[in-house]
Chains A and B, each alone.
Chain A
Amino acid sequence: MSTTVLTVDDSRAMRDMLRHSLVAAGFRVLQAEDGVHGLEVLETETPDVIVTDINMPRMDGFGFIEAVRKDETRRAMPVLVLTTEVDVEKKNRARAAGATGWIVKPFDPVKLIDAIRRVAA
């Protein structure tokens, strides 16, 4: 009964890092490299939690969260924003887009896992 986490990040190093931390913690990990790709993954997968970056090519994190929330069946899907952005304006934009929570990079794997467990029902 492992929790499935979709990570959306354009950096391979960050994706690898997330995968490494989350798999070790017993999560099942799906990966996407930007918002467009994330939506493609959601066509066939139903993760328990999404962790997304903000600054990405093609479709950024804001657009991705908005698109996720537009879909009736995904309105209850927790989305955590993983970003280096610290200023309030971006946090608020993520919140307005429908983010469930956020984690500031560089993340502590323990905090990240804790955060995921908190929002995962």
Chain B
Amino acid sequence: MEDPMAAIRETFFQECEEQLAALETGLIAMENGTADSETVNAVFRAVHSMKGGAGIFSLDALVRFAHVFETALDKVRSGSLAATPQVVGVFLRAADVLEDVVNAAREGGTVDEARTAALVEEFSHINDTPAAPAPTPAPAPEAAPTGGLFEDAVPPSQHWEIVFTPKPELYAKANETALLLRELRRLGPVTVTLDAGRLPELNELDPEGAYLTWNIALDSECDEEAIRHVFEFVEDDCELTITPPQSVGFAPGTVITGDNGFKFEFFPPPEMEPEEEEAPACAVATVAPAPVPAPHEPPAPPAPVKHPAVEVMAAKAESAVAVTATIRVDLDRVDRMIDLVGELVINEAMLSQRVMEAGIARASGVAMALEELEHLTREIQDSVMAIRAQPVRSVFQRMPRLVREVAAQTGKQVRLVTEGEGTEVDKTVIERIADPLTHMIRNAIDHGLESPETRVANGKPAEGTVKLLALHRSGRIVLEVSDDGAGINRARVRQKAIENGVISPDAQLTDDEIDNLIFLPGFSTAAKVSDISGRGVGMDVVRQSVAALGGRISIASRPGQGSTFTLSLPLTLAVLDGMVVSAHGHTLIIPLGAIVETLKPRASDVFPLDDHISVLALRGGYVPIVDVAISLGYCEEFIDPEQSVALLVEGEGGVRAVLMVDAIHGQRQVVIKSLEANYRAVPGIAAATVMGDGRVALILDVDAVVRNARSEAGRGEVPALEAN
């Protein structure tokens, strides 16, 4: 980002995201009654900070709404407004609107004016003082008040007389008479006479006392307001009289002599001065610290020591921040590092292979050093991957809002419980779990939970519970969405599946299999098309997008007690644990996660159904066989089962098949390389990787291959599912 303002703007919106998340967290704590005063402060700060930043970029709509919100929060903070459930409810809705306003500002879109107006109206009810700043075309609340005393004004020319007597407090706040005089001088030519009549003898002088009165004549076109502005910071810490005199002040350059022989010299007004402040500042400095123990002479600040260049120091200050908190790194840099480490892994493997080929003994020094290198390489790889690991919290934090919205749309009462927000997963995965989670939660509320009336009639609490859980299990992240609703209506699902030709009327399916039919294409479980879940995206699309990430999704249900969606994903999309196999001489990687077991089939267990399709008898059931080489078009000839290795794999929704390959060459972790980057997606292939010999090997898309095999097998002709 070349434009610094664009970069700062981007930073601002990133911070807004963080603050919106903090806001949500804090408000939910307030809702649950677990909030303390710091929670309320943090919530206030979040809104306040967004308002402040929005001001820089003139995001008026955001400033206005944040201001109304902030005003109410400030009342809670100060105790003048109680955080009742109704009030917190308004805050939560306001947080949602605020997010929309932020997004609109970021993307240059528009906000739903009616919605913001409605909330502003709600705020006006909960605020004691009813009329908060008008929401619409009214100027931003911030527009009027300006910076401290730094305003200039230019009405008709007048000649002013100012009597200024500082109190000791003035100096205690690091204000300087000399600087005030310098400011006055900006308004016009200034003449000063010093009344040191109250100055005590030297031995009675309190070094922190204040004894002088300054009589100042100012020749300026400014109004009294402008002069008062100069003294605004100090008006409580001095005696100040301002009278418009008739006499013209001293001309610039006038030298006057004070009662005690102090000498003052005045410079021309700023218009006639060079822009640089150094010169006048020095000039005034010679005026102010009088050669006598000046009253305003607390220990002077040490003369500024000169340091190296600004940039260097600024960088140092930032690194100080880094020590206490975190650093932000451009993701591209991390990705570049991951790429390089991936290459390191490959090179290390190539080296090992060459060394082994050279016949060097395993116990030799070279082999042992290589082993050490391999170990280190793995550790570097793990560490680099860990850099991108992030807690799922950022995604979880979006869900309460979703729940509120879906609850409102469906008229259901929902409580969301989350667990395991700290569970970490690679950033690339985080970005891609939000959509499936959204669908799972929508589904849980829309289809899972019953209406409050039905629930009460069935002896359940009117409020349903949706639980969102994240955990690590065997090298994968598992996300569960469970509800305490009615569970899947299996009779209806089955009926629907038969109507849609998904299963044959006489198919024997277990309860689990019926439940998982909802992931099949063209399946909608709702009897009527719901506005919530029926947004054109069915669970089959969710399943496919999850599968594309190397993930699985399934559902388990108990009638009357609820359903649980389980989504399992690899922890990273950059590396994969795979089984290296060969098919018709081609090296392929099969994701380990998909493999249930490896088998050595007997020819007598293989039953050809026709020229293309065979099934394998396995523990009393039949599983379709996929000849990988044929499936990928490497050859036409069916593999001899006796000469092959079979891998029982499980695709999405627990669908199983047996993959036949020539041989297995062991397991290894591979770095995933995109085929799309320079070519395009290839059917049946998930991605590519580079092997130890430097050659590219393809990673099999197990789901695609299994899906393909099953569709070729034809529905109903083959015993559809393994009966174990």
Contact = CB atoms under 8 A, between A and B. Distances in A.
Contacts, number: 183
B236 interface: yes
Interface of B: 4-5, 7-9, 11-12, 14-15, 41-42, 44-45, 48-49, 51-56, 58, 63, 141-142, 145-150, 171-176, 178-179, 182-183, 232-233, 236, 277-278, 281, 285, 298-302, 304-307, 310-311, 313-314, 317-318, 320-321, 324-325
Contacts of B310: 2, 23, 27-29
A17 B56 contact: yes
Contacts of B233: 95, 99-102
A104 B142 contact: yes
Contacts of B4: 16, 20
Contacts of B44: 55
Contacts of B178: 121
A61 to B, nearest CB: 12
Given A56-B45, A78-B174, A84-B51, 6 more contacts: A12-B11, A12-B14, A14-B49, A28-B314, A55-B45, A119-B176
A18 to B, nearest CB: 10
A116 to B, nearest CB: 10
Interface in A76-121: 76-80, 83-84, 86, 95, 98-108, 111-112, 114-115, 117-121
Between B5, B174, B307, the greatest number of chain A beta carbons within 10 A of the residue's beta carbon is seen for B174
A106 B56 contact: yes
A28 B307 contact: yes
Between B42, B306, B314, the greatest number of chain A beta carbons within 10 A of the residue's beta carbon is seen for B314
B147 A108 contact: yes
A85 to B, nearest CB: 9
B718 to A, nearest CB: 60
Contacts of B149: 101
A41 interface: yes
Contact of B147 (A16, A23, A104): A104
Contact of A118 (B54, B145, B183): B183
Contact of B173 (A2, A28, A73, A100): A100
Given A2-B310, A30-B317, A86-B142, A13 B45 contact: no
Contact of A95 (B12, B45, B173): B173
B380 to A, nearest CB: 30
A101 B149 CA distance: 8
Nearest to A115: B150
Contacts of A41: 317, 320
Nearest to A113: B277
A3 B320 contact: no
A99 B173 contact: yes
B320 A16 contact: no
Contacts of A55: 44-45, 48-49
Given A37-B324, A55-B45, A4 B183 contact: no
Interface residues of A, number: 64
A114 B299 contact: no
B7 A114 contact: no
Contacts of A57: 41-42, 45
B298 A75 contact: yes
14 contacts: A4-B313, A14-B52, A23-B314, A32-B320, A46-B305, A56-B45, A74-B301, A75-B299, A76-B299, A95-B236, A101-B232, A119-B175, A119-B176, A121-B281
Between A75, A107, A112, the greatest number of chain B beta carbons within 10 A of the residue's beta carbon is seen for A75
A97 to B, nearest CB: 9
A53 B63 CA distance: 17
B148 A105 contact: no
Query: Which 6 pairs show the lowest CB-CB distances between chains A and B?
Result: A106-B55, A13-B12, A103-B147, A86-B145, A28-B310, A101-B233
Nearest to B280: A117
Interface in A21-61: 23, 27-33, 37, 40-41, 46, 48, 53, 55-57
B147 A10 contact: no
Interface string A63-79: 00000010011111111
Contacts of B278: 1
Contact of A102 (B148, B175, B179): B148
A79 to B, nearest CB: 7
A69 B141 CA distance: 32
A105 B183 CA distance: 22
Nearest to A92: B236
A11 B183 contact: no
Given A17-B56, A95-B173, A106-B52, A101 B321 contact: no
